[in-house]
Amino acid sequence: MPLLNHPTSSETNPLDLIIVGAGFAGLYALQRALNSNRSAVVLERGGDVGGTWYWNRYPGARCDVQSMEYSYSFDEALQQNWSWTERYAAQPEILDYANHVADRFALRPHIRFDTLADSMTFLEDCSLWRTKTAKGDVFYSRFCIMATGCLSSTNLPDFEGRDDFKGEAYHTGNWPHEPVDFTGKRVGIIGTGSSSIQSIPIIAASCAHLTVFQRTPNYSIPAHNGPIDEDYVQAIKQQYGDFRALNQQMFAGFGAHQSRWDASVFDLDESGRTQRFEARWQEGGLGFSSSFSDTGSNLEANQIAAEFVRNKIRGTVTDPETAEQLCPDQVLGCKRVCVDTDYYETYNRANVDLVSVKDHPIERITPKGLITNGTQYDFDLLIFATGFDAMTGTLLKIDIQGRGGITLAEKWSAGPVTYLGLAIDGFPNFFTVSGPGSPSVLSNMIVTIEQHVNWIMDCLDTMQARQTATIEATETASSDWVKAGNAIAAGTLFPTCNSWYLGANVPGKPRIFMPYVGGFPSYVEICENVKREGYPGFVFSN
Ligand code: NA7
């Protein structure tokens, strides 16, 4: 039974599981663990559940996967009972959902909030993990599940004078819990990724003046968000299982409801293509990127799609110079495409300015604002929408030591190496959920999370049946997995720009295309084969 009222476990009475993180991955892992009578404690650095949706409270924060898809499928009553209000759910509603799940499945008593996992050490003599928290608590467990999220370590660039600013300063990924009042304020925002693109229209509507500092323009597609269509909801709920199954056959684990089009851009003449792009633009959302079968793989096809978006920008933003500055020139989809409400339109407001820092990087932050290209910009409030040390940042902040005292930081010094994105050689009984080497951020995260956790729990069942003490990925299987992943990525257009998928947004970070890019269905097939064939690529020990 779980040690609910005890601050620590012991070497002689270890927990089955330490789970790090109480976002969607950690909550589901905990639910599955408790359901199979495994003792588990979740360590969560935040004050409550929700992970990404706990931290990213900036105005306009919203999921770019539709509500009926971005939700758990593991419990039929849950998916029937829960009601979403919008086509794309906003952060507060997703956080309510996470809280509802935590309460519904009585998970909270097993979660230690405000508790940072500080170090995790594999004790070879007893095959246990010892986890120490920043508060000084110590836990012993047979297994660890790292449900630490992919975008959970904020990237705050080391701008000269970064802490000198005397006004209010916030990072979008660590937003205050209290409402931030922009009324009458001069606001500066650095970055034009998804967080910025979602928040800019809302901030602009209430602040005195907004200056956007853009290094790289992004492609953004309108969400056409609005109240969810109840007939659509009922139609899905009548056959939710089938709907989930169809989505699992999609490359990214979602989007099965969208009109299908398996043809090449080159199958249609210009007017036919434009009609097709326009139809997808009107549908809105991430599906635009797959308007045709080859826009993600063929550079020329991609450029045609990209030019369609640029023309939309030119047709929306009235100042031609601003419009051109907003036009991206990298491959469409190379950086994650954004989904917005009135983003480009916002640049037609008199109180919004765009400043390119591409050729003239921010020189320094000053007490009053910042300097770029020799000009001082003054603000009352400065927002760092500068993204995350994605996929590896949070794991590497924890002092994780595997066999022989090797640290994860040493192991991954040249970039992350995993087997199936689930396991790391030299780190027995240690699993990552949606880690590098898995489809994770290129898929619907909740779908991926459920698949990973199910696979891990099946593995634990197998180990219990076989009475084995440890499971560990082999070095060969891990390096082969990384090589195979790199080979697939090299055949795509993904490595052609400086994206966070590649680690290129964090100075000094090794450049490896981190997510598995072969698609969710093929990934699942590989994982299922590994399971069916008795776990090749892993060694078990007693
Ligand atoms: P992103 O997408 O990583 O965006 C961060 C933005 O910050 C991006 O425009 C960066 O420009 C910019 N940035 C980062 N460092 C600097 C410096 N030093 N100077 C100027 N500009 C900088 O993070 P988000 O939070 O918006 O979104 C993350 C994900 O959340 C998103 O992909 C969705 O999946 C949801 P760059 O492009 O690197 O030139």
Q: Are residues 489 and 516 in the same domain?
A: yes
Residue 203 banded pLDDT, cuts 50, 70, 90? very high
What share of the chain has pLDDT > 70, as a percent? Answer: 98
Q: What ligand 1 atom has the least distance to the C-alpha of 215?
A: 39
What value does the mean pLDDT take over residues 408-415? 97
Q: Are residues 85 and 204 in the same domain?
A: no
What value does the mean pLDDT take over residues 397-416? 97
Closest CA to 72 of 230, 257, 241, 233: 241
Q: What are phi and psi of 296, to 5 degrees?
A: -90, -15
Q: Are residues 511 and 380 in the same domain?
A: no
**To which H or E segment does residue 523 belong?**
helix 520-532
428-461 pLDDT tens trace? 999 999 999 999 999 999 999 999 999 999 999 9
Q: How far is the CA of 401 from the centre of ligand 1 (A)?
A: 31
The end-to-end CA distance of the chain, in Å, is 23
237-273 pLDDT tens trace? 999 999 999 999 999 999 988 776 789 999 999 999 9
Q: Are residues 503 and 404 in the same domain?
A: yes
Flag whether pLDDT at 338 surpasses 50: yes
Instruction: Determine contact, residues 473/537, Cβ cutoff 8 Å.
Output: yes
Instruction: Determine contact, residues 313/329, Cβ cutoff 8 Å.
Output: no
What value does the mean pLDDT take over residues 50-55? 98
CA distance 122 to 463: 18
Q: Are residues 45 and 182 in the same domain?
A: no
191 in ligand 1 pocket by Cβ < 6 Å? yes
CA-nearest residue, atom 36 of ligand 1 = 216
Report the number of distinct structural domains present in the chain.
Answer: 2
**To which H or E segment does residue 532 belong?**
helix 520-532
The answer to the question of residue 6 being in a domain is no
Helices 240-248/520-532 angle, 10° precision: 90
- Give the 3-state secondary structure of residue 33: helix
pLDDT score, position 65 = 97
115 in ligand 1 pocket by Cβ < 6 Å? no
Q: Are residues 41 and 173 in the same domain?
A: no
Flag whether pLDDT at 5 surpasses 70: no
Q: What ligand 1 atom has the least distance to the C-alpha of 336?
A: 32
192 in ligand 1 pocket by Cβ < 6 Å? yes
The answer to the question of residue 372 being in a domain is yes
Q: Are residues 355 and 400 in the same domain?
A: no
Flag whether pLDDT at 76 surpasses 90: yes
346 in ligand 1 pocket by Cβ < 6 Å? no
Residue 6 banded pLDDT, cuts 50, 70, 90? very low
CA-nearest residue, atom 17 of ligand 1 = 157
* Residue 483 neighbours by CB under 8 Å, 6+ apart: none
383 in ligand 1 pocket by Cβ < 6 Å? no
Q: How far is the CA of 334 from the centre of ligand 1 (A)?
A: 13
Q: How far is the CA of 387 from the centre of ligand 1 (A)?
A: 4
The answer to the question of residue 236 being in a domain is no
Q: How far is the CA of 385 from the centre of ligand 1 (A)?
A: 6
Q: Are residues 173 and 34 in the same domain?
A: no
Beta strand 427-432 pairing with 423-424: antiparallel
Average pLDDT for the chain: 96
CA-nearest residue, atom 29 of ligand 1 = 194
CA-nearest residue, atom 34 of ligand 1 = 336
Q: How far is the CA of 223 from the centre of ligand 1 (A)?
A: 20
Flag whether pLDDT at 4 surpasses 80: no
Q: Among 260-269, 352-361, 501-510, whose mean pLDDT is lowest?
A: 260-269
For tokens 């970039």, name the residue: 415
The answer to the question of residue 96 being in a domain is yes
What value does the mean pLDDT take over residues 310-339? 97
Q: What ligand 1 atom has the least distance to the C-alpha of 194?
A: 26
Residue 2 banded pLDDT, cuts 50, 70, 90? very low
The answer to the question of residue 406 being in a domain is yes
pLDDT score, position 403 = 97
Burial degree of 354 (CB within 10 A; 0-12, 13-18, 19+): buried
Instruction: Determine contact, residues 406/28, Cβ cutoff 8 Å.
Output: no
Residue in 386, 498, 514 to alter for ligand 1 test, most ligand atoms within 8 A of Cβ? 386
CA distance 332 to 309: 9
CATH number at residue 49: 3.50.50.60
Domain's final residue, options 364, 384, 404: 384
CA distance 246 to 253: 9
pLDDT score, position 8 = 64
330 in ligand 1 pocket by Cβ < 6 Å? no
For tokens 């634990």, name the residue: 460
Q: What ligand 1 atom has the least distance to the C-alpha of 197?
A: 26
Instruction: Give, in degrees to the nearest 5, the angle at Cα 390 between 486 and 456.
Output: 75
- The tokens for 96 are 């309510």
Q: What are phi and psi of 321, to 5 degrees?
A: -70, -45
Q: What ligand 1 atom has the least distance to the C-alpha of 361?
A: 19
Instruction: Determine contact, residues 46/204, Cβ cutoff 8 Å.
Output: no
Domain's final residue, options 342, 367, 384: 384
pLDDT score, position 463 = 98
Strands (E), 310-403: 338-340, 352-356, 362-365, 369-372, 375-378, 381-384, 399-401
Strand partners, 145: 19, 431
454-492 pLDDT tens trace? 999 999 999 999 999 999 999 999 999 999 999 999 999
CA distance 196 to 218: 10
Closest CA to 17 of 133, 128, 150: 128
| Cα→Cα distances 460→12, 36, 214, 415, 523, Å | 20, 10, 47, 28, 20
What is the extent of the structural domain holding 465? Answer: 15-153+390-541
Q: Are residues 185 and 199 in the same domain?
A: yes
Q: How far is the CA of 394 from the centre of ligand 1 (A)?
A: 17
386 in ligand 1 pocket by Cβ < 6 Å? yes
The answer to the question of residue 5 being in a domain is no
Domain's final residue, options 328, 359, 384: 384
Q: Are residues 101 and 76 in the same domain?
A: yes
196 in ligand 1 pocket by Cβ < 6 Å? yes
The answer to the question of residue 3 being in a domain is no
Q: Are residues 40 and 178 in the same domain?
A: no
2 in ligand 1 pocket by Cβ < 6 Å? no
pLDDT score, position 262 = 81
Helices 445-466/240-248 angle, 10° precision: 90
Q: Are residues 400 and 380 in the same domain?
A: no
The answer to the question of residue 221 being in a domain is yes
